[in-house]
């Protein structure tokens, strides 16, 4: 978080604004500046991650029992009901509505595995979205697959800091901007995608990403020169970077964000307040919003504008999409034929769990977590007869928790949806230590490169500057004993093919690893086999990462 971030009440001293929470928890912000008379509601989601069917409290497949008891959330049909209800209410009151998605519809369930993003777009078409940003996971199957996904959309897909080479299947598919007219007013929508996509996903050599701030400064100036002052940014760069953008770039009216899965709410304990206000270089307040992920929430932001596009009044909050929202029947009818070929796989039991396995994003990207231990133990068990003694996984590759009781294949695939394969190699001890230091280098932003390990343990001090020795006392298991890692010795390592190829910035694995071998075994298969062999399974934390 930058020092330009404003506590929302700190905005009072910025421009003579007033700010309060309503009885329902929604924030309201008002400035002394004159309004133009134009108001707009933005209904927004982000990081849906293929949650077409309703989800459990763990963001994974909802069981039939939980569904019957009303204990499930989200899903496309429930999201449709919420959007349609709120859209009708606002439009009935004379306030125009934009429905926006900040990216990462892709990857996360068997719907994406089976249909490559087309099922997700089909849902969005039926619900009625005005625009979608491009998330890093949209590139998981490469440019050609993304081009096919975008071709199905009845709405523009927007990201301006992406450059696509001529001749690429993606050429002409991603729009740099879109202008939508509402009640006689032109609203500009820009989009940016994290440049880290080159290491987080598979955009290929024909796709490049410009610095977001440099791009936006030019793009907004061009829009303003065309007479457009009300400019919304669909951002897929994360909550902290959104604040940096708002503080550095003039002319943004509001940022509709994604990527970091930030839980924003004015009623839920532990959530970030909705919205975050940041002062732009000219001193106007820029609201920044997100709606967590996985279809669990719908964001609802009401904006009133000054003539120059500044937001002078705003209110809103996220809405939890629980059982009080009845699933839309027409969307359920669309889902039914899509789900039939994968339903049997999703429901197939894998193992009994004696306790839940915590795979929460905020834990697995910051510290030792139960899912990290479970997955790395499974990886190590799979190759134990090959002289491999250490396992390394990226916390960002662990996408969900699993509840106690019967774990299904759908649960396992929700945890490990990327179809990554088990990969073995040999690596010097010094390179292993460098990998750990790299992995913990961006805890502040919840980076997915955070290392989960087996057969190895270390101390972590987040108060040390990134890259300056946050990792210490690295030890490796030798039988039942632990011994300091030898920087010059070679160690057998099992990881996933994404990391072995330098993914998440682990270039030392690609450059210093030798005798690499891709087993072609899906990590989800490895985890399912391990849980089954150890049922009733109960996870544990055993001090692999001491803080």
Give whichever of 5-9, 52-56, 88-92, 310-314 has the largest mean pLDDT. 88-92
Give whichever of 36-40, 103-107, 128-132, 405-409 has the largest mean pLDDT. 128-132
Q: What is the CATH classification number for the domain harbouring 194?
A: 3.60.21.10
Q: What is the CATH classification number for the domain harbouring 521?
A: 3.90.780.10
Task: Calculate mean pLDDT across residues 89-99.
Answer: 97
102 and 166 housed in the same domain: yes
Query: Where does a domain end: 337, 359, 386?
Result: 337
304 located within any domain: no
Query: Do residues 412 and 400 touch, judged by C-beta distance below 8 A?
Result: no
158 located within any domain: yes
215 and 191 housed in the same domain: yes
Using DSSP's 3-state secondary structure scheme, residue 317 falls into strand
Cα distance between residue 373 and residue 368, in whole Å:
7
62 located within any domain: no
Burial class for 240, CB neighbours closer than 10 Å (0-12, 13-18, 19+): middle
343 located within any domain: no
Query: Do residues 516 and 423 touch, judged by C-beta distance below 8 A?
Result: yes
Q: Comparing 531 with 63, which gets the higher pLDDT?
A: 531
Residue 22 pLDDT greater than 50, yes or no: no
Nearest in space to 13 (alpha carbons), one of 360, 228, 315, 277: 277
Condensed to tens digits (0 to 9), the pLDDT of residues 170-185 reads: 999 999 999 999 999 9
In degrees, rounded to 5, the angle at the alpha carbon of residue 519 between the alpha carbons of residues 199 and 503 is 5
270 and 394 housed in the same domain: no
CB atoms within 10 A of CB 402: 30
Condensed to tens digits (0 to 9), the pLDDT of residues 50-88 reads: 999 999 887 877 888 889 999 999 999 999 999 999 999
Note the pLDDT of residue 178: 98
466 and 496 housed in the same domain: yes
426 and 469 housed in the same domain: yes
Note the pLDDT of residue 5: 45
Query: Do residues 450 and 394 touch, judged by C-beta distance below 8 A?
Result: yes
Note the pLDDT of residue 201: 85
Nearest in space to 229 (alpha carbons), one of 256, 261, 252, 207: 252
332 and 353 housed in the same domain: no
405 and 288 housed in the same domain: no
Q: Comparing 346 with 75, which gets the higher pLDDT?
A: 75
68 located within any domain: no
Using DSSP's 3-state secondary structure scheme, residue 474 falls into strand
Note the pLDDT of residue 6: 45
Nearest in space to 49 (alpha carbons), one of 322, 231, 206, 258: 258
Q: How many domains does the chain have?
A: 2
pTM attached to this predicted model: 0.78
163 and 201 housed in the same domain: yes
Domain span at 446? 348-546
Cα distance between residue 15 and residue 477, in whole Å:
59
Cα distance between residue 73 and residue 58, in whole Å:
10
91 and 202 housed in the same domain: yes
Condensed to tens digits (0 to 9), the pLDDT of residues 443-467 reads: 999 999 999 999 999 999 999 999 9
369 located within any domain: yes
356 and 491 housed in the same domain: yes
């Amino acid at each position: 978080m930058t020092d330009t971030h404003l506590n929302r009440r700190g905005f009072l001293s910025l421009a003579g604004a007033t700010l309060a929470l309503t009885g329902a928890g929604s924030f309201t912000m008002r400035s002394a500046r004159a309004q133009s008379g134009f108001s707009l509601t933005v209904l927004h989601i982000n990081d849906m991650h293929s949650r077409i069917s309703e989800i459990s409290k763990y963001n994974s497949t909802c069981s039939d029992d939980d569904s019957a008891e009303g204990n499930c959330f989200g899903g496309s049909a429930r999201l449709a009901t919420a959007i349609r209800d709120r859209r009708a209410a606002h439009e009935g009151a004379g306030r125009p509505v934009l429905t926006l998605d900040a990216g990462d519809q892709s990857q996360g369930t068997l719907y994406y595995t089976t249909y490559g993003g087309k099922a997700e777009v089909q849902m969005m078409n039926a619900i009625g979205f005005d625009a979608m940003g491009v998330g890093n996971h949209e590139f998981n199957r490469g440019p050609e697959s993304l081009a096919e996904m975008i071709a199905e959309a009845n709405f523009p897909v927007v990201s301006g800091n992406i450059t696509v080479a001529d001749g690429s299947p993606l050429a002409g598919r991603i729009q740099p901007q879109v202008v939508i007219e509402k009640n006689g007013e032109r609203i500009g929508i820009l989009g940016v995608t994290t440049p880290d996509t080159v290491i987080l996903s598979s955009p290929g050599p024909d796709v490049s990403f410009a610095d977001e701030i440099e791009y936006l400064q030019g793009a907004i100036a061009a829009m303003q020169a065309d007479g457009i002052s009300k400019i919304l940014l669909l951002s897929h760069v994360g909550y902290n970077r959104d604040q940096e953008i708002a503080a550095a770039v003039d002319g943004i009216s509001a940022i509709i964000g994604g990527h970091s899965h930030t839980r924003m709410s004015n009623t839920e304990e532990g959530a970030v307040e909705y919205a975050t206000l940041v002062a732009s270089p000219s001193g106007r307040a820029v609201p920044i919003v997100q709606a967590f992920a996985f279809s669990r929430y719908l964001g609802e932001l009401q904006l009133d504008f000054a003539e120059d596009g500044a937001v002078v009044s705003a209110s809103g909050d996220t809405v939890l999409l629980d059982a009080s929202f009845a699933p839309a029947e027409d969307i359920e009818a669309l889902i039914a034929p899509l789900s039939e070929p994968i339903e049997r796989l999703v429901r197939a039991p894998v193992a009994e769990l004696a306790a839940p396995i915590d795979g929460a994003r905020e834990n697995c990207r910051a510290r030792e977590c139960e899912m990290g231990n479970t997955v790395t133990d499974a990886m190590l068990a799979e190759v134990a007869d090959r002289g491999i003694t250490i396992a390394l996984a990226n916390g960002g590759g662990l996408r969900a928790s699993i509840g106690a009781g019967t774990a299904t294949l759908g649960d396992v695939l929700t945890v490990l949806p990327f179809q990554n394969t088990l990969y073995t190699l040999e690596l010097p001890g010094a390179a292993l230590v460098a990998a750990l230091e790299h992995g913990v280098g961006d805890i502040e932003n919840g980076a997915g490169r955070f290392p989960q390990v087996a057969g190895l343990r270390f101390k972590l001090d987040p108060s040390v500057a990134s890259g300056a020795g946050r990792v210490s006392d690295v030890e490796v298991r030798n039988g039942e004993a632990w011994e300091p890692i030898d920087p010059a010795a070679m160690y057998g390592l099992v990881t996933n093919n994404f990391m072995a190829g330098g993914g998440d910035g682990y270039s030392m694995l690609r450059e210093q690893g030798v005798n690499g071998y891709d087993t072609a075994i899906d990590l989800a298969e490895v985890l399912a086999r391990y849980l089954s062999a150890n049922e009733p399974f109960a996870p544990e934390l055993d001090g692999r990462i001491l803080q």
